[in-house]
Amino acid sequence: MRFTVLGLFEMAEGETDWTPSAPKVRQVLAVLVLRAGQVVSIDTLIEELWSDDPPRSATTTTQTYIYQLRRVFGRLQERSGLPDPLITRPPGYVLDIPPSEVDATRFNSMLDTGRALLAHDAREAARILREALALWRGPMLGNVNCGPLLRGYAAHFEERYVSALELRIAADMRLGRHHELIAELKSLVTRYPYNEWLHGQLIIALTRVGRRAEALEAYQDVRRLLDRDLGLEPSPDLKQVHAGLLHARSELSMDLESPLRAAI
């Protein structure tokens, strides 16, 4: 089987889509997939489905959703011969599937590998991180009505996505791909306007290809943005990049390039 959560939620076997069409059933399955191999209590499912306002019939209704999932897995079992992965285990249920069947698990593994490689093999790190980012096909769980638990997962994986993006950019910068990065970085600082590390990489990339005037303008843009929206000055790292640019210091490239910082 194959479960995708990095974009639209899908469950597939071969070329056949087995994704539940009922929104609440799909929501329950998404929780079980993201906690694959772990017991998910019925109380956890109720909180996800109805937050702080569950109906009196919440337990019975949730069990009905589980029954509908069992029917889906039963039909899949009849067609493919695969074992039923949905196991009852008090106080709830376990989805017993290999980690490799979930795209989010593969993404996490590739991100960790890419981070470890960056220090000594930027080319391989860039390749693996690019593959990890390619697993994303849109906003996480884009076709699922997310409750508090799934919203938390979505926020967590969005941060992991940004981490992978920063690490891949750092690898490409080390490989001298400055020209290729400029257009992407201009787009990214629009998407993540308060990410000073990305702004710094844009300034550095512009400087390295001889576009110092544009680099200075890029610094002024982020300085004005931070002041107008947040009442903040640029970070010390970003100021250091600016100072290096003004004085044409060769060590400019070292000041803000590594994303191996505590925030990632």
Task: Summarize pLDDT for 62-79 with one digit per residue, the tens.
Answer: 999 999 999 999 999 999
- In the chain, the amino acid numbered 132 is A
Which of 74, 101, 128 lies at the terminal end of a domain, its last residue? 101
Mean pLDDT by 10 residues, the chain (264 residues): 98 95 98 98 98 96 98 93 94 97 98 96 98 98 98 98 97 96 98 97 95 97 98 94 82 45 35
Is residue 7 domain-shared with residue 96, that is, in the same domain? yes
Structural domain contains residue 216: yes
Which of 83, 101, 119 lies at the terminal end of a domain, its last residue? 101
| Residue 32 · residue 155 · CB < 8 Å | no
CATH number, residue 221: 1.25.40.10
Structural domain contains residue 164: no
Structural domain contains residue 121: no
The model's pTM: 0.92
> Containing domain of residue 7, as a range?
2-101
Written as six digits, the tokens of 130 are 């690019």
Which of 62, 61, 72 minimizes the C-alpha distance to 19?
A: 72
Structural domain contains residue 161: no
Which of 46, 77, 101 lies at the terminal end of a domain, its last residue? 101
Q: Would residue 20 be called left, alpha or beta, if left means φ above 0 and alpha means ψ between -120 and 50 degrees? A: beta
First-last CA distance in the chain: 31
Structural domain contains residue 24: yes
Count of alpha carbons within 13 angstroms of residue 172, beta-carbon side: 22
Question: How many separate domains does the chain show?
Answer: 2
